Copies of this chain bind each other. A is one copy, B any other.
């Protein structure tokens, strides 16, 4: 008898098949027992009729503990009431491993308890759906760049120095010296772009921030393209294309998962080009008009971003930020040195920033000046300055925060459920 997975069940209608998985749920009704079998690819109802199985199997179906692993053999039957169109008429049921009393019950557990049991919580339908959405999104983002000839580069995780300021760094004992966990692959991505033209870095990044917010993890993943000879407008086009692509692919491939998440997909259907593009100054005006006080020069917090997103029904760009609130490598506007050629992309529905990027300063002299102004240690950045000494070119790039993008697309408030094993200030386990 062939072992088939639930997602391929339609190819085996009316056949006898074997399924392998876990008992997600069960109920009894007279001479019928219903088992919900979860096999990682889907969930299917298995119907056990008293007169079609041995007395042992019938009894087993009545008392097998939740999350026990089992092998089910039976007939694939069409069932119009099933969300997947099929159910299994059970002929045999074999226990692989009987589960102890499962810690996660149907009652409302607190997030702390669920996170302590993250290794089991991942089996729950919403967490399962989130992992599938994540995988589709990250695969889609990489393919988007692959198809355009970008070269995938791994930036180092262990670095000798800070990329964006010296606070919020994790220190690592590296033999007899100290290393730091990377905060962004960008500087390395710039070096690679001078070799390969267009590259993207994909990997984990780290911020030892003591804040506990719904938008921060200490360990999070970014995809960071960097393009030699690219200016800001085409960089925004690229970011727009990326976001349209990943949203489109998730809508296309994760319809069932978005239903599990109870995500209203109507706002996602609106994610098509062109995205609005406004300046920081215009954004300040909108935020003030909507009654939130803010001064020109202030950075946007989550609150200001949320207010701003009420103005738009799709993702939108904010450009031309005050240089003072942006990183040292940002190029200034040649017509107004108070302004950095920075660009953020904000997701609608209150989510806010999911992409940050901009033009990089290509002048050696100006970059040296910025390093002084930002009180950064120059010596560990000498190699980065070399990129301006030997064939410097205009170049641009951005970083998409994977977890924030998933939180928005899946419609959940906190980023902590968007990754298999989240790391937060007070969460390092399991």
Contacts and interface: CB of A to CB of B under 8 A. Distances in A.
Interface of A: 3, 5, 7, 20-23, 39-41, 67-69, 96-97, 99-100, 102, 117, 119-120, 122-123, 127-128, 131-132, 134-135, 138-139, 142, 146, 149, 151-160, 170-175, 177, 179, 181, 188, 191-198, 203-204, 206, 208, 210, 218-219, 221, 228-229, 362, 380, 383-384, 386-394, 419-421, 423, 425, 428-430
A155 B221 CA distance: 11
B122 A158 contact: no
A68 B394 CA distance: 13
Nearest to A20: B229
A204 B172 CA distance: 15
Contacts of A159: 428
A132 B150 CA distance: 10
A156 B421 contact: yes
A96 B231 CA distance: 14
Nearest to A95: B391
B172 A39 contact: no
Given A39-B197, A41-B197, A131-B153, A420 B203 contact: no
A119 B382 CA distance: 11
Given A67-B390, A99-B389, A139 B146 contact: yes
A392 B98 CA distance: 8
A415 to B, nearest CB: 13
A152 B139 contact: yes
B391 A195 contact: no
Closest A-B pairs by Cβ, 8 of them: A40-B197, A383-B430, A69-B391, A119-B191, A122-B195, A97-B392, A156-B421, A99-B390
Give the number of times this chain occurs in the complex, counting copies: 2
Contacts of A419: 154
B40 A175 contact: no
A151 B170 contact: no
Nearest to A181: B172
A22 B197 CA distance: 10
A394 B3 CA distance: 14
A41 B159 CA distance: 28
B428 A174 contact: yes
Looking at A120, A154, A391, which has the most chain B CB atoms within 10 Å of its CB?
A391
Contacts of A194: 22, 40, 122-123
Given A69-B393, A120-B390, A195 B153 contact: no
A100 B390 CA distance: 6
15 contacts: A40-B196, A40-B198, A68-B390, A69-B393, A97-B388, A122-B191, A123-B194, A123-B195, A127-B195, A135-B153, A159-B428, A170-B173, A175-B425, A188-B420, A188-B421
A69 B395 CA distance: 12
A240 B119 CA distance: 30
Given A132-B151, A139-B142, A102 B219 contact: no
A142 B154 CA distance: 15
Contacts of A394: 96
A379 to B, nearest CB: 10
Given A40-B198, A152-B139, A171-B172, A192 B392 contact: no
B160 A428 contact: yes
A391 B181 contact: no
Given A40-B195, A40-B198, A228-B40, A151 B131 contact: yes
